[in-house]
Amino acid sequence: MTAELTGSAPVLIRRSTLADAAALARLTSSSGEATPCAVFLVAEVRGELVAAAPIEGEGGVLYDPDRASEDIRDLLTRWSEKLRRQLGTAASKAA
């Protein structure tokens, strides 16, 4: 999904991949959050990861305080919460 927030470049929201490991480590050190073992929904601006929210596992939003605006963090949080609910519903139906 791509969104364009007021006054910023387009934001790409996607699921993390193994190729994102270094960028996720950078976000972890920038945000001060512990590195959770999880699958993330990430926000990318101009090809660079600026924020990540877990969709599996625990933890808060990881973000670069210099690059991830509050709008980007809010957008990512809303989408990750939606996916968590959908995954929870799918897991409940499969059980």
CB atoms within 10 A of CB 5: 15
Which pLDDT tens digit goes with each residue over 63-74? 888 887 888 888
- Which three-class secondary structure state does DSSP give residue 56? coil
Which pLDDT tens digit goes with each residue over 73-82? 888 988 888 8
Query: What token pair was written down for 16?
Result: 């993390």
Q: For residues 95 and 85, what is the distance between their CA atoms, to the nearest angstrom?
A: 15
Q: For residues 12 and 29, what is the distance between their CA atoms, to the nearest angstrom?
A: 22
Q: For residues 48 and 43, what is the distance between their CA atoms, to the nearest angstrom?
A: 8
pLDDT for the residue numbered 7:
56
Please, which residues have CB within 8 angstroms of residue 34's CB and are 6 or more apart in sequence? 28, 59
CATH number for the domain that contains residue 8: 3.40.630.30
**Are the CB atoms for 6 and 75 separated by under 8 Å?**
no
Higher confidence at residue 43 or residue 36?
A: 43
In this prediction, residue 6 has a pLDDT band, given cuts at 50, 70 and 90, of very low
Which residues face 62 on adjacent strands?
52
User: Could you tell me the residue range of the domain that residue 8 belongs to?
Assistant: 2-94
Question: Model-level pTM?
Answer: 0.77
CB atoms within 10 A of CB 16: 19
- In the chain, how many domains are there? 1
